[in-house]
Amino acid sequence: MNHRTDSATAELFPGEPIEAIAPGALWLRGFVADNANPLLGAIESIAAAAPFRNMVTPGGFTMSVAMTNCGKAGWITDRRGYRYTENDPLSGKPWPAMPRLFTEFAARAAAAAGFADFAPDACLVNRYEPGTRMSLHQDKDERDFTQPIVSISLGLPATFLFGGLSRSDRPRRLRLESGDVLVWGGPARRAFHGVDPLAQGADPLTGAYRYNLTLRKAL
Ligand code: MD6
Ligand code: FE
């Protein structure tokens, strides 16, 4: 067992609000809360070079969540399918570099969950406004499923749906707040998950937006 997601988790992190949500999946409440400002500043720089856009699924639906990427690879979808690309299809240029702040927090969060030496090469940046949602899906376009995913929430709170390995498994509902981090890997790596329609709100830093960074080893 190399994931700290057993019942001893609470004792391994005395005084820290860390919760195992499933084998391989850990919820680190407030893990980046003190760094929301620099993280949001980095998102702003990324979006200046690679703007948020609403991508189209292979089935022809436009996603309600706006997306961009940074890192060596970026996740995209269009009529041809879901995949990682090294260039932004809007500009033809490489995705913006991954900020050091992102890689550092991702590695620290992964290590806290028992995944040593996590080195993400892709970061999908999701932007939600009230009413937008992410339907249940699995992250399965990466090559190496031994590597975890680190997911950072900023801005308005959201209800995150954490399901099982089958689409029909009833998901748990987690209220993710600004600064919360999820780490999941191992037996949770291919769990179905999604986000309920975002409620209206006004975050002091982001106003009417929620941002989510999902950091992955894609290549
Ligand atoms: C979101 N997150 O929180 C969407 N995927 O906006 C994801 O789809 C996700 O949070 C894999 C691992 C963690 C995640
Ligand atoms: Fe996902």
pLDDT, tens only, 107-165: 999 999 999 999 999 999 999 999 999 999 999 999 999 999 999 999 999 999 999 99
Q: Look at residue 166 in the predicted model and tell me its pLDDT.
A: 96
What is the residue with the minimal CA distance to atom 8 of ligand 1?
194
With the most atoms of ligand 1 within 8 angstroms of its CB, the residue from 151, 159, 160, 216 to mutate is 151
pLDDT band at 12 (very low <50, low <70, confident <90, very high): low
CA of 26 to the centre of ligand 1 (A): 13
Backbone angles phi, psi at 182, to 5 degrees: -110, 135
Q: Look at residue 218 in the predicted model and tell me its pLDDT.
A: 97
Q: Which ligand is nearest to the CA of 181?
A: 1
Q: Which ligand is nearest to the CA of 154?
A: 1
**Closest ligand 1 atom, residue 210 Cα:** 6
Task: Indicate if the pLDDT at residue 211 is higher than 80.
Answer: yes
pLDDT band at 18 (very low <50, low <70, confident <90, very high): confident
The share of the chain scoring above pLDDT 70, in percent, equals 93
As a whole number of angstroms, the longest Cα–Cα distance in the chain is: 49
Task: Indicate if the pLDDT at residue 4 is higher than 80.
Answer: no
Distance CA 101, CA 35 (A): 9
Q: What is the DSSP string of the chain?
A: --SS-STTHHHHSTT--EEEEETTEEEETTTTGGGHHHHHHHHHHHHHHS--B--B-TTSPBPSSEEEEEESBEEEEETTEEEEESB-TTTSSBPPPPPHHHHHHHHHHHHHTT-TT----EEEEEEE-TT--EEEE----SS-TTS-EEEEEEES-EEEEE--SSTTSPPEEEEE-TT-EEEE-GGGTT--EEEPPPPP--BTTTBS-EEEEEEE---
Task: Indicate if the pLDDT at residue 14 is higher than 60.
Answer: no
CA of 151 to the centre of ligand 2 (A): 9
Q: What burial letters (b/e) apply to 155-174, b meaning 16+ CB within 10 Å?
A: bbbbbbbbbbeeeeeebeeb
| Arithmetic mean of pLDDT over the chain | 93
Q: Look at residue 8 in the predicted model and tell me its pLDDT.
A: 45
pTM, rounded to two decimals:
0.93
With the most atoms of ligand 1 within 8 angstroms of its CB, the residue from 69, 182, 183, 210 to mutate is 182
What is the residue with the minimal CA distance to atom 14 of ligand 1?
151
Task: Indicate if the pLDDT at residue 58 is higher than 90.
Answer: yes
Mean pLDDT of all residues in 169-193: 96
pLDDT band at 1 (very low <50, low <70, confident <90, very high): very low
Q: Which two tokens stand for residue 215?
A: 């950091």
Q: pLDDT (tens digit, 9 = 90+) per residue, 79-88?
A: 999 999 999 9
Residues with CB under 6 A from ligand 1: 126, 134, 139, 149, 151, 160, 182, 184, 193, 195, 212, 214
Q: Look at residue 17 in the predicted model and tell me its pLDDT.
A: 81
Q: pLDDT (tens digit, 9 = 90+) per residue, 161-173?
A: 999 999 999 999 9
